[in-house]
Amino acid sequence: MNSSNTLCPAGQGFNRPFSRIYAEREALRHPRAGQILDAFPSSRVVIIDHYKDVFNRSHQSFYLQKHSQALILAVKKGTLIYPGAPFCQDFGNSNFYYTSNIMNCVYDCEYCYLQGMYPSGNLVVFLNLTDTFEEVLKLLEHHPVYLCVSYDTDLLALEGITGFVRDWIIFAKEHPDLKLEIRTKSTAFSRIADLAPCKNVILAWTLSPAAAARYEHNTPSPALRLQSALSALHAGWPVRLCFDPLLLLPDAAAMYREFVEEVFSVLPGDKILDLGVGPFRISAEYLKRIRKSRPDCAILSYPFETAGGVASYDRAGMRALTDYVCGLAAKHMDADKIYRYEEDE
């Protein structure tokens, strides 16, 4: 698998991403391990007993590790499927779950909650994907399942390394009672473009105004993301858009007005499956940790309000910005297809 266009560039004075690969002994026995290691022939491979021996070490710098990520190959034990997180939208679906076949992301968004949730900026790939499939099958014995597989990473951005998205799509085609959401900021639709569209697999692009995207380091530009989403639409895939998180930046009204116009000048609103809109929100504890590691981050220095352990903009400002963006989008698509995050979700 060619991984050349999926990795963050190495920063000055830092090693190339994935120049170090840690691999659990058990993970090395997995067929996918060989495929991944073959993609990085010059990387140093370190054999370990358990991924937490590396990932959970104390005194790590998430921020610095993002400049030179190590890759950790592991086998996940215990629970593999979790009830949908309260910070996430269910888009009207019942039986909402998520799973994390990969921990962390190749992108480096300054506002990302992962840097407050994880002790390490390194990337963990759990190779036992079929075990996750088995847990999904057990759930499907009782009810349909809505499953988000790309919240704690960007699965499509890593498709050239793992091939997980392709396997999820093939699995979903065999189980029509399973609905998948695969969320991304990547332009990697081309890696699955040979697959026939699957009506129960939603490809969801997170889009941001250019001014907000300045805080989304190493991500493709919003314009390139739009073109990737357009390619998926033309190929017949269900495409979701996510304006999330909304950021209260200077001249936010003008910024989001221009942004919404740009989005729907490229994407036909009547062809979009639906749209999710939500303001910036984060665990107050995560925010505290991130501010320690990124003290110079302007967007995180805002005097957020905290309620119920969640930090966000003041309630009135949050509602006003969400109302405004939803109203702009409703000029281009059916308002019933616009889902807004509510504080009590």
Residues 104-116 pLDDT 10s: 999 999 999 999 9
State residue 242 phi and psi, 5-degree precision: -130, 110
Looking at the DSSP bridge assignments, the partners of residue 310 are 283, 307
Task: Tell me the three state secondary structure of residue 192.
Answer: coil
H or E, element range at 307: strand 305-307
* Residue 12 confidence (pLDDT): 53
Give the model confidence (pLDDT) of 254-277 as tens digits: 999 999 999 999 999 999 999 999
Between strands 201-206 and 239-246, the pairing is parallel
101: which residues sit within 8 A by CB, 6+ positions away? 76, 125, 126, 129, 132, 149, 153, 155, 162, 164
Q: pTM here?
A: 0.92
Nearest C-alpha neighbor of 98 from the set 150, 154, 144 = 150
* Residue 10 confidence (pLDDT): 47
Give the model confidence (pLDDT) of 63-104 as tens digits: 888 888 999 999 999 999 999 876 677 788 889 999 999 999
Lowest mean pLDDT among 18-27, 140-149, 199-208, 335-344: 335-344
Helices 315-329 & 252-266 angle (0-180, nearest 10): 30
State residue 103 phi and psi, 5-degree precision: -105, 125
* Residue 172 confidence (pLDDT): 98
As a whole number, mean pLDDT of residues 44-60 equals: 95
Give the model confidence (pLDDT) of 201-259 as tens digits: 999 999 999 999 999 999 999 999 999 999 999 999 999 999 999 999 999 999 999 99
**If you average pLDDT over every residue of the chain, what do you get?**
92
Nearest C-alpha neighbor of 100 from the set 76, 134, 68 = 76
* Residue 318 confidence (pLDDT): 87
* Residue 67 confidence (pLDDT): 86
* Residue 5 confidence (pLDDT): 38
Q: Are 99 and 171 in contact (CB under 8 A)?
A: no
